[in-house]
Amino acid sequence: MKKLYWIIIALFMIIPIGVKAKDIDVYVFHDYKCLHCKAELEYLNEVKENYNLNLHLYEIGNTNDKSYDANVELFKKVIEKLNINKNYQAPFTIIGDRYYIGFDDSTKKSMDTLLKDFESDIKVIEKVVKDEDTSDINMKYGEYSAIKFFGHELNINKMPIPLIATVIGFIDGFNPCAMWVLIFLITMLMNMKNKKRMYALGITFLVTSAFVYLIIMFAWLSIIGSLSSIVWFRILIALVALIGGLVNLRSFYRSLKKDDGCEVVNEKKRKSIISRIKKIVTEKSFILALIGVIFLAFSVNVIELACSAGLPMTFTQILALNNLSNLEYMINILIYIFFFLIDDILVFTIAMVTLNVSGISTKYTKYSHLIGGVLMVLIAILMIFKPEWLMFNI
Amino acid sequence: MKIVKINALWCSGCLYMKKVWKDVLKEYPNLDITEYDYDLDEDIVKTYNPGEILPVAIFYKDNIEYKRLVGEKTSDEIINVIKECL
């Protein structure tokens, strides 16, 4: 009996009877023409009582009505100050230090999870309105379900992007244009019998190739980052991807009629690269040989980028559509580059360990054309008709 | 039996075929194989008119060209041609 008494007392202490939950300020920038915005407002009104929401709604789509100009100005100011939603998409929702771009079933689930356990006293919009310093606020996407990576939070909703980076990078890696240069370089290095020099020159070639891709992809990202919200620009990129995809499919179709093997192309360019490699290998000064390899990797990768038929560009466009943080851009581009170089790394490592250069069958190149072609055509179609399907955080 | 092989140092498919030929040589160790490099032995290679796909293996029967295998092939395909030539 005494036990029961203590249990009842404990239960009264645990259950917060009559304690009113804290009000939650929800700021939504919406467009009256947008169906996703409409769906979000319906949802928020539905759950308003359950979570004690204070809804602050800002119409930004009705540009004909001057009374909404202040909302548009605030929308721009918030984006500029917080450095998020750079594509100016709606609906754009801010709850504490969390934000959402777009709205669908997954956003709804994420908002539910966030609102259930909401704990934040940060008043972002008030700070922006008052022109206060917002540099200390670290805005994070969505619910509290992000995973930690070197102290930074990565959104789980964006996880398909690394997967896409892996697939497209891997397919791009089978581009035979740059591979033959590495194979020739390794074969010539093998004749040197100087293992240290072999390692140094081979690794320098691979690292420089990665660096060239990194620079090109970041440069491209910064160009299209600001333009990707413009419909005609997105369609232009989609058309390039479509042409690239069709080129890949044509290559696959042609390869079906031919024997599997290495195609002998562009004699002049091949001979010039071969003579450059010979010079590097026979160069007595190690520093000059190293500089020669760096220049070789630079020129080969820049020229051969065209050979990739738009795969890196298509991937960068997907990144731009997803409004990621700089760290996430960097991680995804590095994943792409790693898988782009994985076959080269494999050939190099095997050659260094076994002192025997082994080649990868050209059959894989043939199928990379097929998979790459189908993927690019698919992405191009989505970019034109369903770009939101490529926006994994929306 | 005489075989002329045309490879290139840069050709991944040619390197891949090295393993295949190793298997063939286990069964037929006494083949008379001459190898040329597409770029390093340019003048001689031209006389064989190798075409656009590498590697190329030219098989001779009674010193007359009997058959060509172009591109990547299996060891069985190569052995079949060798058997025809012998």
Q: What per-residue confidence (pLDDT) applies to A207? A: 94
Give residues with Cβ within 8 angstroms of A205, minimum separation 6: A182, A185, A293, A296, A297
Cα separation values, A381 from A242, B25, B63, Å: 8, 51, 57
Q: Which residue has the higher pLDDT, A80 or B5?
A: B5
A183: contact with B, CB 8 A cutoff:
yes
Helix (H, G, I), strand (E, B) or coil at A145: coil
Residue A23 DSSP label: P
The ipTM estimated for the assembled molecules is: 0.85
Which of B5, B6, B11, B12 to mutate against chain A (most A CBs within 10 Å)?
B12
> Does the structure show a pLDDT above 70 at B80?
yes
Chain A within 8 Å of B18 (Cβ-Cβ)?
yes
The mean pLDDT of chain A is 81
pLDDT in tens, A65-123: 777 888 889 998 888 888 787 777 889 999 988 888 888 777 887 788 788 777 777 78
Residues above pLDDT 90, as percent of chain A: 18
Percent helix, strand and coil across chain A, each to the nearest 5 = 65, 10, 25
Predicted confidence band of residue A228 (pLDDT cuts 50, 70, 90): low
Integer Cα distance of A313 and A306 in angstroms = 10
What does the block give as tokens for A97? 């230090």
> CB under 8 Å to A8, separation ≥6 — which residues?
none
Nearest to A262 among B18, B19, B53 (CB): B53
User: Looking at residue A151, what is its pLDDT?
Assistant: 57
pTM for the full predicted model: 0.65
Confidence of residue A394 (pLDDT cuts 50, 70, 90): very low
Those of residues 192-211 in A touching chain B at CB distance below 8 A are none
Contacting residues of A for B9, CB less than 8 Å apart: 183-184, 187-188
Instruction: Of A83, A299, A323, A145, give the one whose Cα is nearest residue A209.
Output: A299
* DSSP three-state, residue A220: helix
Query: Are A262 and B19 inside 8 Å of each other by CB?
Result: no
Measured between its terminal Cα atoms, the distance across chain A in Å is 56
Minimal Cα distance from B7: which residue of A?
A262
Interacting residues of A58 by C-beta distance below 8 A, sequence separation 6+: A27, A28, A29, A30, A71, A74, A75
Please write the tens of the pLDDT for every residue from A161-200.
888 899 889 888 877 666 788 888 888 888 777 788 889 9
Give the nearest partner residue to B9 out of A187, A265, A360, using CB atoms.
A187
User: Which residues from chain B sit within 8 angstroms of residue A174, using beta carbons?
Assistant: none
Contact status of B45 with chain A (Cβ, < 8 Å): no
Using alpha carbons, select from A332, A289, A283 the residue that is nearest to residue A312: A332
C-beta separation of A197 from A189 below 8 A: yes
DSSP 3-state of A357: coil
Q: Find the closest chain B residue to A183 by CA distance.
A: B10
pLDDT digits (tens, 9 = 90+) for A21-69: 578 899 999 988 888 889 999 999 999 988 889 999 999 887 777 778 8
Cα–Cα distances in Å, from A343 out to A14, A182, A314, A320, A338? 59, 11, 21, 27, 9
Is residue B40 less than 8 Å (CB to CB) from chain A?
no
How many A/B residue pairs have CB atoms within 8 Å? 81
Taking only residues 245 to 274 of chain A, the set having a beta carbon closer than 8 angstroms to any beta carbon of chain B reads 258-265, 270-271, 274
pLDDT at B69: 95
- Is A179 in CB contact (< 8 Å) with chain B? yes
Cα–Cα dist B21/A359, whole Å: 14
Does B34 reach chain A within 8 Å, measured CB to CB? Answer: no
CB-based contact, A160 to chain B, within 8 Å: no
Nearest CA in chain B to A178: B10
* B1 to chain A, closest Cα gap in Å: 25
